[in-house]
Structure 1
């Protein structure tokens, strides 16, 4: 709660066994998106052998309903899309022309389960054997309306679950090929394009929403996946791909039109590029192995620009050693000019930095002090108040 920076609620997903990297909200905070990482049986009723992985293990995408008046998540009014066991990853919500839709990566559409002890390839190699994975496109707005009307979904472990069959029948779920093993899906500020990138492809792929909508409207699909979900062909969705460096991940946006910044993990640098013209504008070495990055309000419809923070996984030689562990490293970068300029290093202990956002301080109005007898966790007067 930004009123006092206190945790006011924690919810546990009754269907998932894991998730990964960030919570993503729809533009008006109608819902909070949470995707699985590794597939698991929904029932949680005991051991299910990996030989049944394709049939009984499932991924998923939960849209947690958020009550703005109460400032609370409402599990009873939330719902989950059943998804194939493709190891879903990061998500983003559409805005402007893409409002009402959500976009979610996957990184193991091979449905590989390992087996190095039996002479099979390592898990990472098996999950990288295909040239592409799938971006999941979900119509959360229509799904919410149908769930509220009682037309789709059933309760499983207390959560409303929309089956893949129901989602397909109601035009709620589509798949689009994306660069293999992606770790970033980012809707541009104008909402008409989606940028996807992954460590195993040196390009950032830019998808065009108009082309995607046309394919949906005309039901122009290249086929269906093993679970019956329609697949929109890459040529019917892709606008362009831009060579940005080895190991691109997360993209943030500038206040300048069409300007984006992508973290480059393997090359340890930030690439500034134009997603309208499809050209690289500048590259800045960072120290080292950047994962995510954060531009000021860089994932909103009105990015503020000026500064960017690289959330680096390694510091190596940037700081004096103070023990057996090295800190991670945040680097502040000036992006106000044509060329990026590194300003400052800040060591961060205990944990690899992941998805973060920035907001202007003058937009917040935090409490200066609590009222006497106030329960900060429940945000109301305590029953044990003394006066």
Structure 2
């Protein structure tokens, strides 16, 4: 998993905030946001931020100052790291490292600040969680799952991780990526509770995606005619250049479509100007809706529970017949070949 760019931006802000200015109130009612460059018994030399890029130095007699409100730069800096804890689910070890470095930078800059105690508590939490993640744990639903617990629940937990990723793609508007990820999800996790939870959302995503493809297909001829008419209205030179660009773009898309179909991509990239891609999107989408509508996960046929039972039998039973039966049960409820292979390998190791 790559580090979240938004997280990196947050950390960058947290470690590079400028010092906050003090507030000086003068006898005439004027207020100045400034930092003290120097002072003597009678005067302040203040650095005043005139604009974002211009700073001015002013000498102000102390006798003219009626009030000084000292800035607390550590409080402002702490605002930018305060939300690093509690951590979200599924952070990588690398992402924990970024957060740890940000908090350590804060403590280095403000070791005696009002928020130092809070920052130290945050650092302890981050380091403790990071150590568990580095050893093979995973954070799900706000709790760290140990490596041993993860293996016992691997089928369910992996499904939940994949489900969260797909939901995130949908929320970000990455429809094609979400649909492709869901196709892979179905191959591995169709017998999990996560499938039952995710399927209604993805059926709606598919319906919308297919509807958009149908709309594009229904208007394709009219749009192609309009484009051709627009070309005719251009000068000969501009028409030639534009026509060549369109043909080049169409050829590139045709090559991409062929590559995706040759690779047996479940969802091809649709183009509003490519009939074949729209027809393929509609055909596959409607077939998927029929398939998903017919899938039933019967009570008592929970793949996650069957995985746990099989894993426990393999590691605790020592009875070859019981192990064989447990693996057969896992196959019967539809646990995918990838995870069946993991059970079979574990059984070989325990022999």
Say yes or no: TM over 0.5: no
**Which structure's relative contact order is higher, taking Cα pairs within 8 Å and 6+ residues apart?**
2
Pick the structure with greater CA Rg: 2
Larger helix fraction of residues: 2
Q: TM-score if structure 2 supplies the norm length?
A: 0.21
Q: TM-score if structure 1 supplies the norm length?
A: 0.20
Larger strand fraction of residues: 1
